[in-house]
A and B are shown apart, each in its own frame.
Chain A
Amino acid sequence: MRTYSEVNEGDRSNLLGQVTAQRERVTARLATVSHVVAVVSGKGGVGKSLVSAGLAAALARSGRQAGLLDADLHGPTAARMLGVRASGLAVRDSGVEPPLAACGVRVMSSDLLLEEAAPLAWREPGHERFVWRGALVAGMLREFLADVVWGTLDVLLVDMPPGSERLDTLAELVPRLAGVVVVTIPSDASYRAVRRGVEAARAGGISILGVIENMAGYRCGGCDTAGPLFEGDAGERLAREAGAPLLARLPFDPGLQSAVDRGEVGPAADALTAAAQALIAGLSRSDG
């Protein structure tokens, strides 16, 4: 009896071909996107999504065509932060039109697909779910990349979920991942957690484009003075060790946080204007 390798009379299922076609759709869609940049951290609660939204808005404000893909499928926030949570998605033969935020950023987030407060859940048999959930999440991310009509973009920021495991998925899906922006808070605990993410990125051959230290002190909304919040210098240490620029040190600002929660990303964009310019400069250097 012939073996699997010896039987090659054509396979109508061609599952490998179907998977290859999916990958080619991602490549075709991103052909008009100059740079795909992942925003990562090694842990949750460091303000990565706020930084992503603010950075995207700052890029748009500086005249760049910017998009924001919220890859935190289970904890999406980007649509609300950019004020497009209520938007519907127009589906055409060419793909799914992403909402355009008032700040000029094109946005895609699972928040646009889910009812208020509803968790991301799957129609599936009720046992052994762990076996395929990873594949479903990766498939959803693939569709966000391939099926959204991103158009011509200078930068597509991808707000990654906490941790580093999904970065591998993104790096495999995206033909040319420009690199990552790393977000941390100053504390030593954050340094140690985020460093793992940095090492994971470097091990995968992914460039570290810069580090942003969030909650670097506390800005009093009443008297506009700044004070300490966390001990530590995680941002500087991570940037130094990665050989990457420290793009920004953002103090915790309750007013800025409240504005973002209301879908007003302007103050965050203000705070990240210089970081956006430095990011663009770094991307231009790497292009050259």
Chain B
Amino acid sequence: MKFLCIECDRQMGFAERELPGDGTLAAVFTCPACSRSVAMLTNPMETQLVASLGVQIGGRTVPEQPFELTRSTVEGGRADAFADAPGQAGGRPVWDEAARERLSRVPSFVRGMVQRIYADYAAERKIAVITPEVMDTARRELGLEGM
């Protein structure tokens, strides 16, 4: 799908994506000429339909992780199914206690993958300590859905 600013006759560009947590999705598109924005709001069924294809509206912000679709969609997977090695980014950051506690609330089936993504995010930005604030920023910047 594409969004056209009729007044400017310019294709609107993807600006940001929000997931309020109720299964719906909001994607904001902005006209590059007049800066007018529109929000595309999808209901849970439409949101799931797109997610089922393993694609992301607005494009991918982090490389596709191994078994990403499976791990993020299978309900009640085996707790010890995966042993995740650290990502490629060097300089492993430290997790503070609050961030560690928050991570512990992520279902174990997908936790290792989420941990890798946050750790890579921090390492690439030379962030030494991962805090809940860092997680919030990463989640917002990377558009991490359900993570």
Binding site for B on A (CB under 8 A): 1-2, 4, 7-15, 18-19, 21-22, 25, 88-93, 95-96, 112-115, 118, 120-125, 127-128, 131-133, 135-136, 139-140, 142-143, 147
Please determine whether B52 and A88 come into contact, CB atoms closer than 8 angstroms: no
- Cβ contact within 8 Å between A91 and B83: yes
B13, CB-defined interface residue at 8 Å: yes
Q: Tell me the B residues contacting A by CB distance below 8 Å.
A: 2, 4, 6, 9-11, 13-14, 23, 44-45, 48-60, 64, 66-70, 72-85, 87-88, 109, 112-113, 116, 146
Q: Is A1's CB under 8 angstroms from B4's CB?
A: yes
A163 to B64, CA, bound (A): 31
Closest to A91 in B: B84
In the assembly, what is the distance between CA of A8 and CA of B68, in Å? 30
Q: How far is the CB of A138 from chain B (nearest CB, A)?
A: 9
A139 to B48, CA, bound (A): 13
Residue in B13, B50, B59, B78 whose beta carbon sits within 8 Å of that of A115 in the complex? B78
Q: How far is the CB of B32 from the nearest CB of chain A, in Å?
A: 9
**Pair B14/A123 contact, Cβ less than 8 Å:** no
Query: Which residues on A sit within 8 Å (CB–CB) of B23?
Result: 125
A33 vs B141: C-alpha distance when bound (angstroms)? 38
Report if A91-B52 is in contact (Cβ < 8 Å); known contacts: A15-B57, A115-B76.
Answer: no
Question: Provided the pairs A10-B11, A136-B52 are in contact, do residues A88 and B74 lie with their beta carbons within 8 angstroms?
Answer: no
Number of A-B contacts (CB under 8 A): 141
CA distance A244 to B141 in the complex (A): 56
Nearest CB in chain A: distance from B54 CB, A = 5
How far does the alpha carbon of A12 sit from the alpha carbon of B1 in the complex, in Å?
A: 11
- Find chain B residues with CB under 8 A from A18 CB: 54-56, 59-60
Known: A1-B6, A12-B14. A125 touches B44 (CB 8 A): yes
A18 to B57, CA, bound (A): 10
Inter-chain CA distance A133–B23, complex, in Å, is 16
Give the 9 A-B CB pairs with smallest separation, nearest first.
A132-B52, A135-B52, A125-B44, A9-B11, A18-B55, A147-B66, A121-B75, A12-B14, A91-B84
